[in-house]
Structures are given as structure tokens and as C-alpha cells.
Amino acid sequence: MSIRWSRIVSLSLSSIMLMAGLLFSGVASAQAIMTGTAHDFSDDGFTNEICVVCHTPHNALSETEGGAGSGELGPLWNRTLTQVSDYTLYTEFTRVGSDINATGFGQPTGVSKLCLSCHDGTIAIDSFGRNADNSVNTGGTNFVDDINANANIGEGSGITGDLSNDHPVAFTFPSQVQDPEIHAFTGGLVNATLPLFGAGGDQMECATCHDVHATGTFDKLLRVDNTGSGLCVTCHIK
């Protein structure tokens, strides 16, 4: 083997080992972050794993099996999405002259539907994975109410969910907000802090305020400490 080839091989192997080290250290870090959070169900009796309730490395759901529209499933998604399509929405945002009001509040989509798969109270937390015949498991019995009644924001289970007393999601956050009481966004962030989603990086979703993988530093998995309404004033100018 020539010296040049030897160096190339050595460099390639070193790069692979470095990338592998970073990958596994990232996995370890992710596990450490999730362990003990509100989304760690590994000791609730229906699984001894953490990630599997939402994600799986193999045999993940397709869009059709997930019951979602195009692009709505999360990475390697492992649970059926909520089938509710006609939520009762918040309707009190009527301030004249606001272009946020003009865009209207539509039905939850995207990442918010992932959240609502547990939090609208219509799908059990242990409805994940596949059965022995490879069919999607939709027969779970552990609903979010069983773990934390306050975590059901759909006002009870049933065909529809009532979100009329909850902050609206899945609406376009204008880049130039014509509203003196709302911060504009730049580069997919509101006030350089809260992320927006969707293809245009301009959608307000559940995950704008909550981090599903958070360490629990802030109550209710919030992205910003809400002491003194700190989270609220990240978007709202008061």
C-alpha cells in the first residue's frame, strides 16, 4: 500500500470513528435529556423504553397508516395521529387592524397534530408500534388523563376536541406584523427566541412554546421561563 493511500485510508477511518463517536455521544445526550421528563413513560407499565412511544428505528408508520396528511408525521413516527378534523377553536381574537386576525385560525396541522395525538384525549398513550400481524396498534388503554388529568387540553375524549379555551396554533405568523402588540419574526424565530414551523418557517405551533424533549428546566416543558409572564411577552408586547 502506498504512503498516499495509507494516509487516505487512515484519514477516512479516523473520520468514521469520529463521526461514530459524535453519533453515539449525541444519542447518550438525548437519552439523558429525556430521562425523567414528562414524556418519559419507561416506568408506567406499558414500555421500558423512552423513545419508542413516538419514534422507532425500524418499521415506522407510513403517512397512510399514521392517518395524517402529507408531511405531518414526525421522524420515524411510531404512533397513529389523532383523527379529529373539526376541533372547536378559539375565536376571541378580534382586535381590529391585526393581520394575524386576518389570516384566521385553521385546524391544527403539522407538529401540533403530533402533540394532539396524546393531548386531545382521543388516542391512548400506549397506542404505538405494531401488533404481531404487523397492523398498527390503535388499541391502547392508558390515556393522558390516567397520568395527568391537566394534560388533556381537548376538554374530554370523543369524536371532536374542544380547543376553544386554548391558545390558537397552526396559523401563519406574519413577518411584518401589523399589530402594535405582537412582535414580528425573523428567520423563523419570534423575538429571536421562539421557533416557528412549516415549510415557510412562519407557523405558530404547540412546539413554539413547548419543547417535547426538554429537560424540565421550566415548568410544563416551556421554552422560556414564564416567571413574570416571561414566555407571554416573548410574543406579546405588553
Q: Render pLDDT for 144-195 as a digit per residue (tens, 0 to 9).
A: 888 888 888 876 555 568 888 888 888 887 676 667 778 888 889 998 999 9
**In angstroms, rounded to a whole number, what is the distance separating the alpha carbons of residues 36 and 32?**
9
| Same domain for 188 and 225 | yes
Indicate the pLDDT class of residue 199, thresholds 50, 70 and 90. confident
Q: What's the length of the chain?
A: 238
**In angstroms, rounded to a whole number, what is the distance separating the alpha carbons of residues 38 and 5?**
51
Any bridge partners for residue 210, and if so which?
Answer: 222
Residue 96's pLDDT is what? 57
Residue 100's pLDDT is what? 65
| Same domain for 152 and 63 | yes
| Same domain for 119 and 49 | yes
Parent domain of 160: 35-235
pLDDT exceeds 90 at position 77 = yes
| Same domain for 188 and 106 | yes
pLDDT exceeds 70 at position 95 = no
| Same domain for 51 and 30 | no
| Same domain for 86 and 202 | yes
**Average pLDDT over the chain, rounded to whole?**
79
Question: In the chain, helix, strand, coil percent, each to 5?
Answer: 30, 10, 60
| Same domain for 205 and 103 | yes
Residue 178's pLDDT is what? 65
| Same domain for 165 and 95 | yes
E strand or H helix that includes residue 163: strand 162-163
Other Cβ atoms closer than 10 A to 162: 16
Task: Calculate what percentage of the chain has a pLDDT beyond 70.
Answer: 76
* DSSP character at residue 93: -
| Same domain for 109 and 218 | yes
| Burial class for 9, CB neighbours closer than 10 Å (0-12, 13-18, 19+) | exposed
The DSSP line for 78-91 is -BPPP----PEEP-
Number of domains in the chain: 2
Per the rule left: phi > 0, alpha: psi between -120 and 50, beta: everything else, 148 is beta
| Same domain for 174 and 95 | yes
Query: Where does 3-135 show beta strands of DSSP type E?
Result: 88-89
Residue 216's pLDDT is what? 62
| Same domain for 165 and 49 | yes
